[in-house]
A and B are shown apart, each in its own frame.
Chain A
Amino acid sequence: MLNEEVVKNIIDSADEDERDVLTRREFVWLGGAAVGAIYLGAIGYPVYEYLSTPAQRSAEAAAVTQTTLDNAANLPKSSAMMFKFGARPAMLIHHEDGSWSAFNAVCTHLGCTVKYEPEQSRIFCACHGGTYDPRTGANVAGPPPKPLTKFNVEVKDASVIISRA
């Protein structure tokens, strides 16, 4: 008795929402699309990883917090040296009075690499004439909107250790 009723109900409800049930054709299309998506992913993922390896490496390199410059303590006064901090160029300055400063050497305007000019006592960007203070990194003239990022400097024997502030 009960069984009959259940079956009848099922048939009824199937009749009612026939439109909502997948047809065979739709099922095949859907299955095909799903399998296609799996293949696309299986090919696309390695290709993405392959192409983005250098970007990932440089992001890893950029994440460094400290770097040691061997023998940099010999740097003459009133001069600067360029080095790589992570993936980007950076600058170590030995001031006239014997103190040290280090900055990210990427101009905050449009990304040119800046240069230390001891005669003018400034850090200068040749691209659009941006000027920074060589001790604080503050943007003092020209288009740069922000100061240069300053790093911590620690002199240890002949080496100089640069670290993120």
Chain B
Amino acid sequence: MQASLSQEPKKRLAAVYDWADERLGLTGIIDLARHKTVPDHKYSFWYYWGGISLFFFIVQVFSGILLLVYYRAGADAYESVRQITYDIKFGWLVRSAHSWSANLMVLAVFVHLFSVLFMKAYRKPREFGWWSGLILLGLTMVFGFSGYLLPMDDLAYFATKVGLEIPASIPLVGDLITNIVRGGQDVSEVTIQRFFALHVVILPLMYIPFLGFHLFLVQKHGNALPPSEEAKPMSERRFIRFFPDFFAKDMGMWLIALNILAILASLYPWQLGKQADPLASAPEGIHPEWYFMSQFQILKVFGRWFPGAAGEALGMLLFTAALVVLVLIPFLDPGSKSGRRARTVTYIGLGLLLGLIFTTIWGYWEV
């Protein structure tokens, strides 16, 4: 009697599973997960950073939708963020989580990009993974930039003003593009409204398909081996199962990320400054968010070194060159087995990374 009681639901569950399996091919998917393996070596730690970036993006979508419940774009923007921060229960926490997670997400995406670069994971057949990753990085930065203006406190206002200097210094068309993005000559309610549309509609609409494509490719090609592992004979390579071993570790990383985010967001709540006053003069040492600091500083010193428009033009030339190099990375290292070619990319990567860190620190030094 007892046996049949526990047997019945199991049988029924199996029947439901069979029904769905016939139509969805679930067994195939489960088999795939069961047989998928992930290389296990001393650089395996860096495989987690794509997943960590994904975790923070999920947090952004979730907390962002919560903010949308009370946020009002336009002239009322500051007042609505003030209400979220001081009036709505736990609103400070939701806002703090969104802001902290935004910064952690940008950081995770940068770490992911450089680990892919140094592990040479952009090589054939993974070129499209590299390019879609670059696009995701760009979109992430635009996400951060457009979101930062939305509370419209004095810091957001002036940081957006100076941040828009970067596109404005594109030769010839820079001013035109910037005025369209800004919706006028100056940052105003019009700017908030279009940054808002960008931030919550256009960017997610663009981001999610690229993310889907990126993840599809990761699944299709699996994790890349760094050259040092590739050089080893098959018998010396070690693998772990994707499911449940790698997956469990992945989730462990997410848990660590969640805890770090919870600690930062609750112990260091994101601040709200005074309401932006377009007639007030800028406070000392205004600068954009840290992930735009490098470009900001380069434009600043080039402006000092080269008079007039030349400085800006040279700065833009440098950014364009860096971008072109990043895009062409897979071709600079066409999967040749000789370590020589691959070393070129290592040097380029180190140059970029050190350049970014150096100009960022320099920028903070000067403000």
Bound pair (A, B)? yes
Residue positions of A touching B, CB distance < 8 A: 39, 42, 46-47, 49-53, 56
Contact of A50 among B94, B258, B262 (CB under 8 A): B94
Q: Is the interface of A mostly helix, strand, loop or mixed?
A: helix
Report Cα–Cα, A59/B88, bound state, in Å: 15
Report Cα–Cα, A28/B224, bound state, in Å: 33
Q: Which residues of A contact B258 (CB under 8 A)?
A: 39
In the complex, the answer to whether A53 meets B93 with C-beta atoms within 8 Å is no
Residue count of chain B within 8 Å CB distance of chain A? 11
Contact flags (1/0) for B69-97 with A, using CB distance below 8 Å? Answer: 10000000000000000011111011000
Q: Which residues of B contact A51 (CB under 8 A)?
A: 66, 69
Q: Which 9 residue pairs spanning A and B have beta carbons closest together?
A: A46-B90, A49-B89, A50-B90, A53-B88, A53-B89, A49-B90, A46-B93, A50-B94, A50-B89
Q: Which residues of A contact B87 (CB under 8 A)?
A: 53
Q: Which residues of B contact A53 (CB under 8 A)?
A: 87-89, 91
User: Which partner residue on chain A sits nearest B89 by CB separation?
Assistant: A49
Report Cα–Cα, A52/B93, bound state, in Å: 15
Report Cα–Cα, A42/B94, bound state, in Å: 13
Q: What is the CB-to-nearest-CB distance from A157 to chain B, in angstroms, rounded to a whole number?
A: 34
Q: Which residues of B contact A46 (CB under 8 A)?
A: 89-90, 93-94
User: Which partner residue on chain A sits nearest B69 by CB separation?
Assistant: A51
Q: What is the CB-to-nearest-CB distance from B263 to chain A, in angstroms, rounded to a whole number?
A: 12
Residue positions of B touching A, CB distance < 8 A: 66, 69, 87-91, 93-94, 258, 262
Instruction: Give me 19 other A-B pairs in contact (C-beta within 8 A), A51-B66, A51-B69, A56-B89 excluded.
Output: A39-B258, A46-B90, A46-B93, A47-B90, A47-B94, A49-B89, A49-B90, A50-B66, A50-B69, A50-B88, A50-B89, A50-B90, A50-B91, A50-B93, A50-B94, A52-B89, A53-B87, A53-B88, A53-B91
Q: Which residues of A contact B69 (CB under 8 A)?
A: 50-51
Interface centre among B66, B90, B258, B262 (most CB of A within 10 A): B90
Interface centre among A39, A50, A56 (most CB of B within 10 A): A50
User: Which partner residue on chain A sits nearest B258 by CB separation?
Assistant: A39
Q: Which residues of B contact A47 (CB under 8 A)?
A: 66, 90, 94
Q: What is the CB-to-nearest-CB distance from A45 to chain B, in angstroms, rounded to a whole number?
A: 8
Q: What is the CB-to-nearest-CB distance from A24 to chain B, in angstroms, rounded to a whole number?
A: 16
Report Cα–Cα, A122/B33, bound state, in Å: 73
Q: Which residues of B contact A56 (CB under 8 A)?
A: 89
Report Cα–Cα, A39/B93, bound state, in Å: 15
Q: What is the CB-to-nearest-CB distance from B40 to chain A, in angstroms, rounded to a whole number?
A: 22
Report Cα–Cα, A40/B355, bound state, in Å: 42
User: Which partner residue on chain B sits nearest A50 by CB separation?
Assistant: B90
Report Cα–Cα, A42/B90, bound state, in Å: 12
Q: Which residues of B contact A49 (CB under 8 A)?
A: 89-90
Interface centre among A46, A49, A52 (most CB of B within 10 A): A46
Report Cα–Cα, A63/B90, bound state, in Å: 23
Report Cα–Cα, A53/B87, bound state, in Å: 9
Report Cα–Cα, A42/B97, bound state, in Å: 14
Q: What is the CB-to-nearest-CB distance from A47 to chain B, in angstroms, rounded to a whole number?
A: 7
Q: Which residues of B contact A39 (CB under 8 A)?
A: 258
Q: What is the CB-to-nearest-CB distance from B129 to chain A, in angstroms, rounded to a whole number?
A: 32
Q: Which residues of B contact A50 (CB under 8 A)?
A: 66, 69, 88-91, 93-94
Q: Which residues of A contact B262 (CB under 8 A)?
A: 42
Report Cα–Cα, A150/B93, bound state, in Å: 43
Q: Which residues of B contact A52 (CB under 8 A)?
A: 89
User: Which partner residue on chain B sits nearest A54 by CB separation?
Assistant: B88
Report Cα–Cα, A52/B89, bound state, in Å: 8
Report Cα–Cα, A51/B68, bound state, in Å: 11
A-B contact pairs, 12 of them (CB 8 A): A39-B258, A42-B262, A46-B89, A46-B90, A47-B90, A49-B89, A50-B66, A51-B66, A51-B69, A53-B87, A53-B88, A53-B89
Report Cα–Cα, A51/B84, bound state, in Å: 11
Report Cα–Cα, A50/B92, bound state, in Å: 10
Q: What is the CB-to-nearest-CB distance from A42 to chain B, in angstroms, rounded to a whole number?
A: 8
Q: What is the CB-to-nearest-CB distance from A77 to chain B, in angstroms, rounded to a whole number?
A: 41
Q: What is the CB-to-nearest-CB distance from B62 to chain A, in angstroms, rounded to a whole number?
A: 9
Report Cα–Cα, A47/B98, bound state, in Å: 13
Q: What is the CB-to-nearest-CB distance from B133 to chain A, in angstroms, rounded to a whole number?
A: 29
User: Which partner residue on chain B sits nearest A46 by CB separation?
Assistant: B90
Q: Which residues of A contact B88 (CB under 8 A)?
A: 50, 53
Q: What is the CB-to-nearest-CB distance from A137 to chain B, in angstroms, rounded to a whole number?
A: 36
Report Cα–Cα, A39/B251, bound state, in Å: 14
Q: What is the CB-to-nearest-CB distance from B70 to chain A, in angstroms, rounded to a whole number?
A: 9
Q: What is the CB-to-nearest-CB distance from B17 to chain A, in angstroms, rounded to a whole number?
A: 20
Q: What is the CB-to-nearest-CB distance from B226 to chain A, in angstroms, rounded to a whole number?
A: 33
User: Which partner residue on chain B sits nearest A39 by CB separation?
Assistant: B258
Report Cα–Cα, A84/B196, bound state, in Å: 34
Q: Which residues of A contact B91 (CB under 8 A)?
A: 50, 53
